[in-house]
Chains A and B, each alone.
With several copies, the nearest count.
Chain A
Amino acid sequence: MIDKTVSTVAEAVAGIEDGSTIMIGGFGRAGQPVELIDALIDQGASDLTVVSNNAGNGDLGLAALLARGRVRRMICSFPRQHDSWVFDGLFRAGQIELEVVPQGNLAERIRAAGAGIGAFFTPTGVGTELAAGKEERVIDGRRYVLDYPIKADVALIAAYRGDRWGNLVYRETARNFGPIMAAAATTAVAQVDHVVELGALDPESVVTPGIFVNRVVAVSPRRWVENGEFVGGVDVDGEPLEVAR
């Protein structure tokens, strides 16, 4: 029997090595696998390259990992936010490397890694400093630059429901980078709100087929709320969110 579920977030992140490239799902807080990141903090791997759209919010999740000095390099589209004080401090102190990639190119580079594409010509960023040094070509009258896949050793993502084969469905805009990161990583780890029986997910609606997923761990209830943000939100079952702390 195939059973990709594990009981604890510690098992879910076991074996991650120093120097790894880790993709971390989420767009801001939505879809960010906060519980897996906490487990990674406990697990201890360091000298990491992290690929994630943002560079942490507040003091939780990715921000907490950064605060421990465990990340050598960030690849992201939008590190600077109103609550990205942890990253900001590290960057200004020269304690973290940064590669900024336009969001769509970031997504497409991750998708290319999972889909076995060697490189692709994108029109995004042409003529800007973020395309400096990239190969450029005019195709059918339009300018493009060449971008390469981004692969990872591990992807940490958050989904809504998963089964023991690793099939996943997501919830609303928390889907964001999860599906493409799962496919781009050697080992994909998904935290889910609920593990369901095999067959409980509609095969027409599975977003990430289990072939892309190695470990699934249930983390319900999620710790969604901090400093009053999103207070009063509803949980995955429509129940009012509790403030986590």
Chain B
Amino acid sequence: MTGIGRVELAARIAQDIPEGSYVNLGIGAPTLVANHLPEGLEIILHTENGLLGMGRAPEPGRVDPDLINAGKQPVTALPGAAYFHHADSFGMMRGGHLDICVLGAFQVSSAGDLANWSTGAPGAIPAVGGAMDLAIGAKNVWVMTDLLTRDGSSKLVAECTYPLTGVGCVSRVYTDRAVFDVTDGGFRVRELLGDTTVAELEQLTALTLEERS
């Protein structure tokens, strides 16, 4: 079976974001979603370092060192943007005002637990940033990830073995093979991508998967 590529996946996620949503796109692959938001629809991007109404990367020569995103990359601000300090920005997240955030993951459990900040490897320098705040803050926490790690093990698991970022926080997982909702009964297949089948997904994840009814 084959799934879809990362850019296609970003585009697939972008389709599911309604106009008017306040959205935080996590560092890494989720940032790609920004490039696929429908033209002409207004979706307001939040970056936790203090900006709502984030725009695209600046033109060369117009980089502004004071205007960066959470990944510390140069960005722009749209008309209608607003700046605020860190306590206000994280109050916005923690207070449940963001509609959607899209995060990367090392593992997601069938209870919606997320592990995405540390592999717990000995000697690794711990660094969490805003990951835990994003995980518990948004109304809808979506994960964007490959279904499998490079060594072929499933990122969808019965229980996370990596250190947790948040407990029971993920509502949906977009992978290269399928889109899953996290329900009280575990992962439910929302949509198959590429030519994947549910049977294949169950084999790869070693999980019993619900199908969308």
Name A residues whose Cβ lies closer than 8 Å to a Cβ of B. Answer: 1-2, 27-31, 53, 77-81, 87-88, 91-92, 98, 100-108, 110-111, 113-117, 122-130, 143, 163, 165, 167, 170-180, 183, 198-199, 201, 203-204, 206-207, 209-212, 224-225, 230-234, 236, 240-241
Complex contact B94–A80 (CB within 8 A): no
CA A61 to CA B90, docked complex, whole Å: 26
B14 at interface, CB cutoff 8 A = no
CA A18 to CA B50, docked complex, whole Å: 33
- For B78-95 the 0/1 string (1 means CB < 8 A from A) is 011111111101111111
Query: Which stretch (B1-9, B129-137, B150-158) binds chain A?
Result: B129-137
Complex contact A29–B95 (CB within 8 A): no
Query: Do most interface residues of chain A lie in helix, strand or loop, or is the interface mixed?
Result: loop
Task: Give the chain A neighbours of B63 by CB distance below 8 A.
Answer: 230-234
Q: Which of A27, A53, A209, A224 has the most CB of B within 10 A?
A: A209
CA A93 to CA B163, docked complex, whole Å: 24
Nearest to A103 among chain B residues (CB) is B130
Complex contact B48–A103 (CB within 8 A): yes
Complex contact A177–B85 (CB within 8 A): yes
Query: Which stretch (B100-108, B119-127, B192-200, B202-210) binds chain A?
Result: B119-127
Known: A110-B87, A230-B74. A183 touches B167 (CB 8 A): no
Complex contact B136–A206 (CB within 8 A): no
B interface residues, tally (CB under 8 Å): 63
Given A172-B66, A183-B95: 14 more A-B contacts, CB < 8 Å: A53-B86, A78-B129, A88-B125, A104-B90, A104-B91, A105-B133, A107-B90, A116-B91, A127-B166, A165-B44, A180-B86, A203-B82, A232-B61, A233-B74
Task: Give the chain B neighbours of A175 by CB distance below 8 A.
Answer: 50, 83-85
Q: Which of B48, B63, B126, B132 has the most CB of A within 10 A?
A: B132
Task: Give the chain A neighbours of B113 by CB distance below 8 A.
Answer: 127
Complex contact B167–A177 (CB within 8 A): no
Complex contact A128–B163 (CB within 8 A): yes
CA A77 to CA B70, docked complex, whole Å: 12
Complex contact A165–B91 (CB within 8 A): no
CA A113 to CA B95, docked complex, whole Å: 7
Nearest to A83 among chain B residues (CB) is B72
B20 at interface, CB cutoff 8 A = yes
Complex contact A128–B164 (CB within 8 A): yes
Complex contact A100–B128 (CB within 8 A): yes
Complex contact B77–A172 (CB within 8 A): yes
Q: From residue 3 to 52 of chain B, which have CB atoms closer than 8 A to chain A?
A: 19-20, 22, 42, 44, 46-52
Nearest to A88 among chain B residues (CB) is B125
CA A81 to CA B68, docked complex, whole Å: 15
Task: Give the chain B neighbours of A232 by CB distance below 8 A.
Answer: 60-63
Task: Give the chain B neighbours of A91 by CB distance below 8 A.
Answer: 125
Task: Give the chain A neighbours of B93 by CB distance below 8 A.
Answer: 104, 116
CA A172 to CA B77, docked complex, whole Å: 9
CA A22 to CA B204, docked complex, whole Å: 50
CA A201 to CA B93, docked complex, whole Å: 23
Complex contact A77–B130 (CB within 8 A): yes
Complex contact B128–A172 (CB within 8 A): no
Complex contact A241–B65 (CB within 8 A): yes
Complex contact B82–A209 (CB within 8 A): yes
Nearest to A193 among chain B residues (CB) is B66
Task: Give the chain A neighbours of B126 by CB distance below 8 A.
Answer: 79-80, 98, 100
Task: Give the chain B neighbours of A126 by CB distance below 8 A.
Answer: 136, 166-167
Task: Give the chain B neighbours of A211 by CB distance below 8 A.
Answer: 22, 44, 46, 52, 92, 97-98
